[in-house]
Structure 1
Amino acid sequence: MTVPDPGFMVAYCEQTLPGMLIDVCEVPEDLAHRIAVDVLRRAEALASLPAREQDVLIAPFVEEAFAQEPADAPLDLKAKVALVVRNSLLDEPVRAGAPSYGVAAVLRYAAAPLSHLLGARLREPVGLAGIHPFMGLAGRYPRAWTCLEALTDGFAAGGPHPLTLPAAPVPGLPPLADDELRTRLSRAATGDAVLHVPALGHWSRDSRRLHGILEFLLAHRATILTTNYLISPTDVSVRYGDLVSPDPSALRDTRGLTGTHRTLAESITG
């Protein structure tokens, strides 16, 4: 039996990742090294958390991660790679047009090293000093966290899962640079709106900001429809069977959708 070695993740971040970013993704050297430092910090932060919290944190990103390579990697590991690597400062060159094949390679080569780090820290936990990007989300965004917990539980069997939101102050609109999204959220606050987004990560890859968006929408009784999820103030639902890749037309594929989830999907796609 192979003993998990955290040194593989350190080597990936100090050697492999910067080289791939520079040579394959055409990222400036300074930014490449800053991304690598951020990825290792995020990996250690995730590894310091209990397994349940790790599962809740990856829930918004499973839809996009399930098709990542390596194809035989566990789904939860793929989603953790997305959370740790894709959602890091790597998002900056991705949005600037970094080659998709290079980004895919970066994620593929991260899976094994991250698995080693998570396994090693599970065997021998290491305390993490200072602030990290996943700290305090459950307390600051109680509705969003409870919702994502229900979504996590819903993965086991698919279909609907009840949601009981905690009582909490109604938050203001979170700060957003995207004018269109800010307008959509503002409109959602006026009534029982239904917002469609291909995947939750399309709104933000920053966990804190995404939790803020979910907290705002749930506090204002909005319903969120993604390619594979339905989130409302009273329940969540996950597509039965295989997930569907969240491209713009994917919602037309209603296999595995039932009840309200299917009805809303069909009403949006016509």
Structure 2
Amino acid sequence: LEDLHVRDTVNAGGITAVTTYGLGPLSHLIGARRRRPLRAGAADDPFAGLADTYPRAWACLDALQTCLTGGGGRVGYRQPDAPLPQLPDATEVIEAAPADHLEMPSDAFTGVVFSGIDPRFDQNSFHWLEVAQKEGLMLGLSSLSRISRNSRKLLRVLEFFLAYQARILTTNYLLTSKEVWVRRHELVKPNSEDPMPGFRNLTGLSGAHKKTVESYLAQVSQPNG
């Protein structure tokens, strides 16, 4: 479905319809798996080995889960000791078509058309990895799924960012190498095509989270041109 969406065979409305109709069968599948769980470490488990391969990202997401279930706010955590990850090699990088159909709110935003499940890296994502490695980075995204819908790639990118002290800001979260923050009370629905209203909504933000959002808004406030 993701590949069809990238090729513009299925539009956003079609994806909504397909996923809505798929919820019923999916709920039955989940219920059946709860009654008859797979043994740990099954060969087709997409999450097998992720905690060991990407320990920083796993620790961060574990803290995020704790923060979410606790109603938001701040949760600190300690990064595990692990080797510094390296940039993807040239064979993993692909040139993707620009997302010319999107109107960017400022020059700080760029977009490409690329599959959310492809394990490779488009030129934009590779650029942000380079920036994080060389000079530090505060990256604003509507949601973590904008990094990837491929769980292994998502954790790989998070591992890289956290290892190089980058800060990842989404509509509702702030992820750093030492702490995570979550918007309190009601979360704001992310909008990948127009993320700025979500960032401008400061309801439920506090402390370093609110200050980081305000700093980010100041950085991207310059109009195009």
**TM-score normalised to the size of structure 2?**
0.75
Residue 160 (structure 1) aligns with: 74
Residue 236 (structure 1) aligns with: 180
* Aligned partner (choices 11, 20, 24) of residue 112 of structure 1: 24
Q: Cα 1:231–1:140, aligned 2, differ >3 Å: closer, same or farther?
A: same
Residue 5 (structure 2) aligns with: 94
* Aligned partner (choices 207, 216, 219) of residue 268 of structure 1: 216
Percent identical: 41
2:87 is the counterpart of 1:173: yes
Q: Cα 1:181–1:129, aligned 2, differ >3 Å: closer, same or farther?
A: closer
Matches within 5 A, 1:79-90: 90=1
Residue 87 (structure 1) aligns with: none
Residue 46 (structure 2) aligns with: 133
Matches within 5 A, 1:1-270: 90-97=1-8, 98-127=10-39, 129-156=42-69, 157-174=71-88, 175=92, 176-247=120-191, 248-249=195-196, 250-270=198-218
Once the two structures are superposed, residues 28-48 of structure 1 have per-residue CA deviations (whole angstroms, 9 ceiling, x without a partner) of xxxxxxxxxxxxxxxxxxxxx
- The answer on whether the counterparts of 1:191 and 1:222 sit within 8 Å (CA) in structure 2 is no
* Ranges in structure 2 where 5+ consecutive residues have no aligned partner: 93-119, 219-225
Divergent runs of 4+, >6 A: none
The one-letter amino acid paired with 1:111 is L
> Which range moved further: 113-122 or 248-257?
113-122
Once the two structures are superposed, residues 170-216 of structure 1 have per-residue CA deviations (whole angstroms, 9 ceiling, x without a partner) of 11124443112211111111244211111111111111111100001
Once the two structures are superposed, residues 81-121 of structure 1 have per-residue CA deviations (whole angstroms, 9 ceiling, x without a partner) of xxxxxxxxx21111222221211011112222222222222
| Whole-angstrom CA distance in 1 between matches of 2:175 and 2:161 | 10
- The answer on whether the counterparts of 2:63 and 2:77 sit within 8 Å (CA) in structure 1 is yes
| Whole-angstrom CA distance in 2 between matches of 1:183 and 1:118 | 38
* Ranges in structure 1 where 5+ consecutive residues have no aligned partner: 1-89
| Whole-angstrom CA distance in 1 between matches of 2:149 and 2:42 | 24
Of structures 1 and 2, the one with the larger relative CO (CA 8 A, separation 6+) is 2
Higher helix residue share: 1
| Whole-angstrom CA distance in 1 between matches of 2:164 and 2:29 | 39
- The answer on whether the counterparts of 1:223 and 1:231 sit within 8 Å (CA) in structure 2 is yes
Matched pairs, number: 181
- The answer on whether the counterparts of 2:57 and 2:156 sit within 8 Å (CA) in structure 1 is yes
CA RMSD after TM alignment: 1.7
The one-letter amino acid paired with 1:268 is Y
| Whole-angstrom CA distance in 1 between matches of 2:129 and 2:136 | 12
